[in-house]
Amino acid sequence: MTKLSAGIIGGAGYTGGETIRLLLNHPSVSLNFVQSRSQEGKSLHEIHPDLLGETNLKFTGALDAKADVLFICLGHGESKKLLSEQMFPAAMKIIDLGNDFRLGDSESGRHFVYGLPEFQREAIRKAQNVANPGCFATTIQLGLLPLAKVNLLSEVHTTGITGSTGAGQKLQDATHFTWRANNISAYKTLSHQHLGEIIRTLSSLQPGFEHVNFIPWRGDFTRGIFVTSVVECQMPLEAVTEIYTSYYASHPFTKVSASMIDLKQVVNTNKCLIHLEKVGTKLAIHSATDNLLKGASGQAIQNMNLMFGLEESEGLHLKATAF
């Protein structure tokens, strides 16, 4: 079988590095090029040391290389600018891992489908361009989609904690080891940039829904997201659990756990694990993902698989480290 050819723009950061690792090991893909303005001419392993011995590819500065699928791993605002300035072949499929097209924006005739497979897998299969969801947005939405589907969402109160890789590779005060170690803090209280896509998705399933109160936290670890959402719910826990297990029965990466989940179960995987608890009329939905995989590069590969008619989990059978 002829392999798909893939290219990456913006390959020097965390999501670029994860996308490289996954594509190098994908049985149906050949990674043709990795572009980086800042690292042109360097071997990939000089920037991503774990790739030593895995590939001889070097970063290119050119944008004219050809591929069947292009992954854009640029900072927020840069993808739209790129597509306004650079023409790519109409047949080339594009998966954008930034924030630019998650609310339905288009650029230069390219219209983007929101790439959350558990929400609209069939639309992704038909898409030419996909906007990969945000990491917190993925984790929160997967915890709430089944309730929205059956019109059971009430006002949501959500807290979530993320590792330092969620802030990107560029050094900031809040990612410096001396600040992050043995520390925790809230940020962007009730104003996180992923709220727009969360509300857009949930309200499309449950018209009129608009209340998600989200407080994100910075954690003292490198990768992973753990979220707890609380809603009012009169239904017995057993019935709610059946709604969740039925909703996710055909989805290979989102699993409902009968026992409490923890972050180590999902780190280094493309899974989202969900656990439900109920006290009185309060339903607590715990959901956990790896922010760089199911929250970014892993989900991008999952979307690629769907767009090209491959088995959805191909190249993504990854195991958590556990210890």
Q: Where are the domains of the chain?
A: 4-132+296-307, 135-289
pLDDT of residue 171: 61
135 in active site: yes
Question: Given pLDDT bands bounded at 50, 70 and 90, which one contains residue 100?
Answer: very high
- Contact assessment for residue 224 and residue 266, using Cβ atoms and an 8 Å cutoff: yes
In sequence order, the β-bridge partners of residue 28 are none
pLDDT digits (tens, 9 = 90+) for 157-166: 999 999 988 7
pLDDT tens profile 214-237: 999 999 999 999 999 999 999 999
Place of tokens 């840069």: 78
Dist CA 140 CA 227 (whole Å): 7
Per-residue pLDDT, 217: 97
If you average pLDDT over residues 121-132, what whole number do you get? 98
Mean pLDDT of all residues belonging to the chain: 95
pLDDT of 323? 82
Comparing 25-39, 150-164, 177-191, 282-296, the range with the smallest average pLDDT is: 177-191
Residue 270 contacts residue 318 (beta carbons within 8 Å): yes
pLDDT level of residue 180 (50, 70, 90 thresholds): confident
Helices (H), the chain: 14-24, 44-47, 78-85, 117-125, 135-149, 177-180, 195-205, 237-247, 297-307
Q: How confident is the model at residue 170 (pLDDT cuts 50, 70, 90)?
A: low
Cβ atoms within 10 A of the Cβ of 166, count? 24
Average pLDDT over residues 298-309: 98
What band does 168 get if pLDDT is binned at 50, 70 and 90?
A: low
Task: Write the pLDDT tens digit of every residue in 270-301.
Answer: 999 999 999 999 999 999 999 999 999 999 99
Give which of 83, 302, 101 is closest to 196, Cα–Cα.
101
31 C-beta neighbours (distance < 10 Å), count: 24
Of 99 and 179, the structure prediction assigns the larger pLDDT to: 99
CB 249 within 8 A of CB 102: no
Could you tell me which of 148, 286, 276 has the C-alpha nearest to residue 225?
Answer: 286
Q: Superfamily assignment of 4-132+296-307 in CATH?
A: NAD(P)-binding Rossmann-like Domain (3.40.50.720)
pLDDT at 1 exceeding the cut of 80: no
Question: What pLDDT shows up at residue 321?
Answer: 85
Name the one residue in this structure whose structure tokens are 């049985």: 27
Q: Which residues contact 303 (CB under 8 A, 6 or more apart)?
A: 95, 115, 117, 124, 130, 132
Tokens linked to 177: 């080891």
Least confident of 64-78, 133-147, 167-181, 197-211: 167-181
Contact 261, 289 (CB under 8 A): no
| 175 pLDDT more than 80 | no
Q: What is the pTM of this model?
A: 0.96
Write down the pLDDT at residue 20: 98
73, 135, 233, 272: the catalytic one is 135
pLDDT over 90, % of the chain: 89
89: buried, middle or exposed (CB in 10 Å: 19+, 13-18, 0-12)? exposed
pLDDT for the residue numbered 63: 82
pLDDT of residue 115: 98
Task: Give the model's pLDDT for residue 4.
Answer: 97
Rounded to 5°, angle at Cα 235 from 230 and 237: 70
132-150 mean pLDDT? 98
**135-289 homologous superfamily:** Dihydrodipicolinate Reductase; domain 2 (3.30.360.10)
| 23: helix, strand or coil | helix
Separation CA 146–CA 140 (nearest Å): 12
